[in-house]
Amino acid sequence: MYVNLNGKLVEEKRAAIPITDHGFLYGDAIYETMRTVEGKLWMFDEHIKRLKASAKIVGMKVPYSKKEIREMIEQLLVKNKLKEARVRITLSRGSNKLDFGPAKNPTFLIQPAKIKLPPKELYENGISVITYEIERAIPQIKSASMLPTIMAYQHALKKKAHEALLVDHRGRVTEGSMSNVFFVRKGKVITPKKNILEGTVRNLVIKMAKAKQTTIKKRDLQKLDECFITSTIKGILPVTKINGKNVGNGEVGPITKILMKKL
């Protein structure tokens, strides 16, 4: 497999980043994950827009134009003979000694991989999720500092669940460890409003479903009729159990089904 490291095509096994890289030492990096659909990059503009927004917040600049990044990705897809692929872009401050100011030598990496989708039966029957009380620092950026979400996901695995819904110190549901979350209440689609990463698919579903952004408390989860999570790779994945208890009647809800067909 080939990757693009700082504008150069390199075999993945030969790609090297210095041990002084801030991304390695401090988690001082941001990233984006996108995918192809029928061989074409899906929602590419939205992902690049968010990458640049994240970079601005943390005081970095994306070193290549949107056109150059697209060309790099398309070159990698051809080189690796990939049609349906997952593509990750990582931008770190690079080797900057103890200077956390402007990135003088940023590291820019594009990694493609064959896409791995959830099994079909999960879309048909839904998944189980658990709640986990933890908060991400600066949730509005897609940070490579993923320890809180990794801890939440590990907890989900221990509980034999597919995902963890993060709950903040005020008891508010925010997002999934690797996803955004939506609920249906009395026929209306709702989604958490504060302290979240605004996912690209989340924004698409909000428009599609005319979803209301609001506060959702952990204590109210069992009063909701439907639930689903969203992500670039998974799309819309229905949730039928939260903390071992059925959501609604324990089956994929009608509104979730409609939205899955539309996406």
Q: What would the mean pLDDT of 192-201 be, rounded to a whole number? A: 94
- Say yes or no to pLDDT of 148 above 90: yes
Burial (0-12, 13-18, 19+ Cβ within 10 Å), 239: buried
Nearest to 256 by CA among 233, 229, 231: 229
- The β-bridge relationship of strands 163-167 and 173-176 is antiparallel
Q: What would the mean pLDDT of 190-203 be, rounded to a whole number? A: 95
Dump pLDDT digits (tens) for 58-72: 999 999 999 999 999
- Say yes or no to pLDDT of 114 above 90: yes
Is 241 an active-site residue?
no
pTM score, whole prediction = 0.94
- When pLDDT is cut at 50, 70 and 90, the band that residue 104 belongs to is confident
Catalytic residue among 97, 114, 116, 142: 142
pLDDT computed for residue 112 by the predictor: 98
- Say yes or no to pLDDT of 99 above 90: no
pLDDT computed for residue 149 by the predictor: 96
Handedness of CA 62, 67, 68, 74 (dihedral sign): positive
